[in-house]
């Protein structure tokens, strides 16, 4: 499938700031499920560093504005050819060992509700394979957290989402990571894009899902929000321990001021 992406992020500052430094994970990963046809990241008036590939196999760019500014825009446009690999990440070169993704963060630390969810889900799964356990956990998270926009916010932890009883893709992903760790399965957070609307309408944000490591198979994606494994409707950007670690944009504002954020994401399928 051929997917085109338009993604614009705009920060408006209440008062001018002295400068901005950002780290961007906005270049699609190099793997068997996707091939970049064309891709451009533009930050008007900014100095954009050369992209480099980190130990996790993800592309990172540094952007800086060393002058007083009232706003900043990050604009991504590109076309990617995608292939359905049944959620299995193949051809993705990385040096970080899978067991490094057994560590919880503040955002993925389990509470009693998450522990109970895992115990109840796997109680009768004694003979299940690791892949089957991962599927069971993903389904359980989806059922436990109905999708409800606005129920949580950007800094909500997995434990807080479970207490709320609803959430969005970020919450589903962080809860699933927490569950996987309790089941002794390495898991990580993945950010990217999803062609989710057939009418071509814009999204309010990019998408997220989890990858769980299965021995002798490798990393496998699980999208608990949509009860599926990523297919040719998905574009993978980068990964991390949680939503903050894998964020497409992270930055530092010099002489910080209150800011307003506006994000538009448009993903469309084209005729091949």
Determine the structural domain holding residue 262 and report its residue range: 2-270
CATH number for the domain spanning 177: value is: 3.10.620.30
DSSP per position, 243-266:
TTTT-SEEEEEET---EEEEEEEE
How many CA atoms are closer than 13 Å to the CA of 67, on its beta-carbon side? 7
* Rounded Cα gap, residues 168 and 141, in angstroms: 11
The number of distinct structural domains making up the chain is: 1
Tell me, what's the pLDDT at 171? 98
Are 258 and 14 contacting, i.e. CB atoms less than 8 angstroms apart? yes
Tell me, what's the pLDDT at 257? 72
User: Over its length of 272 residues, how does the chain's per-residue pLDDT go in tens digits?
Assistant: 999 999 999 999 989 998 999 999 999 999 999 999 999 999 999 999 999 999 999 999 999 998 898 999 999 999 999 999 999 999 999 999 999 999 999 999 999 999 999 999 999 998 999 999 999 999 999 999 999 999 999 999 999 999 999 999 999 999 999 999 999 999 999 999 999 865 555 565 789 999 999 999 999 999 999 999 999 999 999 999 999 999 999 988 888 678 899 999 999 998 65
Tell me, what's the pLDDT at 258? 84
Tell me, what's the pLDDT at 201? 55
* Rounded Cα gap, residues 117 and 123, in angstroms: 10
How many CA atoms are closer than 13 Å to the CA of 15, on its beta-carbon side? 4
Tell me, what's the pLDDT at 197? 67
């Amino acid at each position: 499938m051929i997917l085109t992406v338009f993604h614009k992020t705009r920060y408006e500052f209440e008062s001018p700031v002295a400068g901005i430094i950002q780290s961007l994970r906005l270049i699609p990963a190099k793997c068997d499920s996707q091939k970049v046809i064309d891709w451009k990241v533009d930050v008007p008036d900014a100095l954009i560093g050369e992209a480099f590939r980190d130990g996790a196999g993800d592309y990172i760019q540094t952007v800086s504005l060393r002058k007083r500014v009232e706003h900043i825009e990050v604009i991504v446009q590109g076309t990617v050819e995608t292939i359905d690999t049944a959620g299995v990440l193949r051809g993705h070169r990385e040096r970080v060992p899978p067991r490094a993704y057994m560590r919880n963060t503040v955002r993925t630390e389990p509470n009693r509700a998450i522990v109970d969810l895992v115990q109840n889900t796997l109680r009768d799964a004694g003979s299940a394979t690791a892949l089957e356990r991962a599927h069971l956990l993903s389904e359980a998270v989806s059922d436990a957290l109905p999708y409800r926009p606005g129920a949580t916010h950007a800094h909500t932890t997995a434990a807080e989402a479970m207490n709320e009883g609803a959430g969005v893709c970020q919450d589903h992903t962080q809860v699933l990571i927490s569950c996987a760790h309790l089941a002794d399965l390495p898991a990580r957070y993945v950010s990217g894009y999803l062609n989710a609307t057939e009418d071509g309408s814009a999204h309010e944000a990019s998408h997220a899902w989890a990858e769980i490591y299965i021995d002798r198979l490798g990393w496998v994606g699980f999208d608990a929000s949509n009860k599926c494994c990523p297919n040719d409707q998905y574009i993978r950007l980068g990964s991390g321990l949680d939503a903050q670690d894998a964020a497409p944009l992270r930055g530092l504002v010099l002489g910080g001021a209150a800011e307003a954020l506006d994000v538009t994401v448009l993903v469309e399928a084209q005729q091949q």
